[in-house]
């Protein structure tokens, strides 16, 4: 297996790509048996080709692997917390901002192969940083199996679990707004996209929080979920300051 992988790497990759993969292995503390998984995980859709697929499929798989690992861990670790509390902790821990933070800490942003249009920005959007983290999780899962992927996830996310559980991190504002709205108004908030701009690989979104027939705050973000959290956060601030918030003009 190792000899085949090395042959593929030497024949199909230039020195720059190979060095990039080796550096990534050191940063994530995992050595791949088949470097193709890692190479794909670090390939953005803006530079994909028929022979060089992007990490979108790995990202899809990594999201599920990450969700399974965290759900099982939280279930076993917090035996006296109910389903609602566990759901809230998990939603924050696997959020775009947290995954982007860990991706940046590991140095994945600097190793991510993206097109020139993306690299014009000083820092990759959180959505892309979170995506590459999920893709790397999937690459490790494909290369080494679930147990190896579990160790990687927990090694890098465990400290975030403790922060969220002790309420040292940002709250899940959508969950808090929903709790308030259902308790006070007997209504569930929804979120509508007001506008989106930019190319597919670098979009920005504006989302408005809606409760009943009232529009509240508008949030902005590089992903819909991020914009929704921001809309919920501002809406909660409005509710605290005004008593019930003010409707946005169309």
Give yes or no: residues 190 and 102 share one domain.
no
Whole-number pLDDT of residue 9: 46
Residue ranges of the chain with per-residue pLDDT less than 50: 1-10, 120, 245-247, 249-250
Which among 63, 143, 226, 228 is annotated as catalytic?
Answer: 63
Whole-number pLDDT of residue 72: 96
Give yes or no: residues 126 and 200 share one domain.
no
Whole-number pLDDT of residue 230: 92
DSSP-derived secondary structure for 53-102: --SHHHHHHHHHHHHHHHHHHHHHH-TTS-HHHHHHHHHHHTSHHHHHHH
- Any catalytic annotation for residue 230? no
In the chain, the N- to C-terminal Cα span, in Å, equals 61
- Any catalytic annotation for residue 63? yes
Distance (Å, whole) CA 58 – CA 81: 32
Whole-number pLDDT of residue 249: 46
Q: Which domain holds residue 159?
A: 2-165
Distance (Å, whole) CA 159 – CA 38: 25
Q: Which residues contact 128 (CB under 8 A, 6 or more apart)?
A: 44, 109, 112, 114, 118, 201, 202, 222
Q: Which spans in 29-55 are helix H? A: 35-41
Distance (Å, whole) CA 146 – CA 184: 43
In a domain, 248, yes or no: no
Whole-number pLDDT of residue 52: 78
In a domain, 247, yes or no: no
Give yes or no: residues 159 and 209 share one domain.
no
Which among 59, 134, 143, 226 is annotated as catalytic?
Answer: 134
Distance (Å, whole) CA 130 – CA 99: 5
Give yes or no: residues 66 and 148 share one domain.
yes
Give yes or no: residues 55 and 94 share one domain.
yes
């Amino acid at each position: 297996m190792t000899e085949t992988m090395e042959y593929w790497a030497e024949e199909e990759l230039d020195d720059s790509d190979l060095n990039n993969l080796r550096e990534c292995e050191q940063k994530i503390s995992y050595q791949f048996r088949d470097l193709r998984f890692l190479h794909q995980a670090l390939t953005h859709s803006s530079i994909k080709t028929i022979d060089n697929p992007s990490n979108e499929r790995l990202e899809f798989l990594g999201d599920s692997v990450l969700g399974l690992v965290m759900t099982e861990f939280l279930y076993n670790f917090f035996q006296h917390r109910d389903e609602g509390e566990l759901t809230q902790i998990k939603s924050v821990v696997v959020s775009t901002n947290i995954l982007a933070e860990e991706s940046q800490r590991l140095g994945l942003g600097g190793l991510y192969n993206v097109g020139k249009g993306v690299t014009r920005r000083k820092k990759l959007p959180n959505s892309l940083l979170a995506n590459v983290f999920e893709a790397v999780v999937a690459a490790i899962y494909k290369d080494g199996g679930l147990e190896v992927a579990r160790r990687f996830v927990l090694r890098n996310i465990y400290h975030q679990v403790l922060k969220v559980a002790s309420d040292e991190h940002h709250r899940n504002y959508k969950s808090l707004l929903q709790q308030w709205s259902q308790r006070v108004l007997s209504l569930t908030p929804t979120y509508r996209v007001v506008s989106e701009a930019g190319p597919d690989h670098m979009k920005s979104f504006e989302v408005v929080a809606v409760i009943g027939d009232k529009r509240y705050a508008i949030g902005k973000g590089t992903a819909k979920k991020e914009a929704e959290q921001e809309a919920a956060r501002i809406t909660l601030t409005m509710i605290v300051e005004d008593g019930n918030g003010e409707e946005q003009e169309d």
